[in-house]
Amino acid sequence: MQLFQIYERPLGYQQITNLSAAVGLTIPPGTKLILVQAEGQPVRWRDDGVLPTAAIGYPLTVGSELRYTGWGKAHPNLKVIEQVSGAKLNVLYYGIGEQ
């Protein structure tokens, strides 16, 4: 019997510094997991197809991490906006690989 190990395969990194309007992410093909961290100021996000605003959306505080695993067509719906001017977003993208 052959055993396979499933692991997170790095696909890329993105830093977004202009969050004054709701923005989507540049998601590499094959992405299955997205790690998002707010830096500088808190942000809000939504993935239901409605744009977040500075007051409405799921809050992500500075330094906390969003582990987003929305599959397939859900990814393009992930949008983020700053709550206060000066927010940055650090994003890591991962796929699935076998060894």
| Of the candidates 99, 98, 96, the residue with the CA atom closest to the CA atom of residue 30 | 96
Residue 25 structure tokens: 């992410």
State residue 8's pLDDT score. Answer: 83
In the three-class reduction of DSSP (H, G, I as helix; E, B as strand; rest coil), residue 76 is classed as helix
- Could you tell me how many residues make up the chain? 99
Task: State in words which class domain 8-98 has.
Answer: mainly beta
Q: What residue spans define the domains of the chain? A: 8-98
Where do runs of H (alpha helix) occur along the chain? none
Q: Return per-residue pLDDT of the chain as tens, 99 residues.
A: 555 556 689 999 999 999 999 999 998 988 888 999 999 999 999 998 899 999 999 999 999 999 998 665 556 788 999 999 999 999 999 988 765
